[in-house]
Structure 1
């Protein structure tokens, strides 16, 4: 049996492509970390070696996002899906309510879990247009007494992204930033809490980054289960239980890679350029049809349709045969989805664009 060793272009929505230099460094030191004599997969999370690894990971996140001291950085488990529950458990008072702005499938899941904990108001939704855009400011009806305003910064399934944060009038924003964290600079002071599964932009599956502002900790009710209380993890610096040590190690390497690339400003320019290449093909074609409206288009997940589902199946099959993998759209919406996160190489986008043009020439 011959093993496939050459790398393909991985357009998967997640777990997604990681930087090759990060993979190479992890490979070099997988058997034994320098000066340690053990693999990072084997060391104790209580060891001085791992304390330094998690410190570097936290410092990398802080430097890249410009986090002030009154924000805590946590490395948790359970994915964004667990955060759908933890956020309202910790921050939604029993006699209060929270506003959720609904822009796609992941937002719907967040709302479902929040409703188990308390009162939720949908402050705006674009479901009537199949989530093809971000709401206009005049469409957003916020409760001035809301505990928080929840948004999904980038919806991977529909391919829509907030171009900038909504104006919430000082109400803390809680954001699921799983698929665009670290892809661009943000105005961190507008956020009370940010959570993100690592497997899109900052590491492997199994780590959830949570960033929480210090003043929100005082809102947490007593009596929560220990592991579901953010204070547990703040007080223990993400080490109350055994964390995903390897995942945190990879995050520390990815943060260093991002800094060497020029930080989030440089990353944003690169991401915009990559996405523009694909959107230009869509816009100049009568063959491809983009899902998201231009002002709401994602820089991370480019979603589009072809004239027929049969052509979409052929597109995916032929693309895969040419080393362009993971282009099939999510089962709930169909079509094509090209996920081009931070580590996705420009050469892969160029290869996709060339394939798209040739496929249209043969089938248009």
Structure 2
């Protein structure tokens, strides 16, 4: 029996559901163990039909035939040290400043890891080298790095950078539901992470009420982590608020008239594949600028066309903020923008809702995501191939 170890970052549901799609594409004979924490662990434990074992610590990686790592730095390091092949899925590829990434130093850090005890120091040192440096370790330590793409190589990436191009991960999508359709708001599980405080969540929900309150009908659906339900019900009194599994959420999305959500990679692909127009919301920290503008690296179009096809309720519409800003600053800025009748969100949102071709424009810009999906099968096949191959000599 093939044994697979899965590690997914605790950045909401995105990393763990990405791993879930790959695991569900594997044969039933593969034994899957998830090493997870926080909201990723909660999700894995609620989907035990996919993740047969869920653990919060591990003593020996050598018991596994392959490792799947999604947006986290530990898997590539421990797999390399143990001589176990690792596929890292990089959903952050648009964050990198490729010319300044210290790959030689990251490689030295990866080589310094000999046991689980060395991992924490390597991760801390990598984080000090460059923004997101700890996640960039995958390029020094993983056997393969997979990118979900619908266009060409990321802009600025050096030609020697290792990376395998796969189609977007979509898993099993339901058919589009017949009308009537309802607006859906999807608040990423990424709002619940080690760096987000209760105060920030209070401000964020108040911000959403400012943004969406004037344009959202009472019978909308809000998908959100359970930790936000009480806050949301205090402001959206008649909305249908719940926490969904990925399968349940896709059924909700298939019956949506429009989706308001932060610009996560999976959310963007799923909405486009189902033909649901997407309006991107700010994230809890900095308006999700990197994700939103990162779409320009996926789509075979310029930024202006991208912004027309993907209207964003982010600070990009109401000011030229490109550096990370605090949640308080986001709220202050939005409050002013919403109350400005000439430039605020409400007239802008109404103009967006009046665009009947919005979903078609988005499908065109992303090159027909639905026709190019199921990259999870490519990654699953690669894991099976590596699981029966000899370990790389450099990892022994």
Is TM more than 0.5 here? no
TM-score, with structure 1 as normaliser: 0.28
Bigger helix fraction = 2
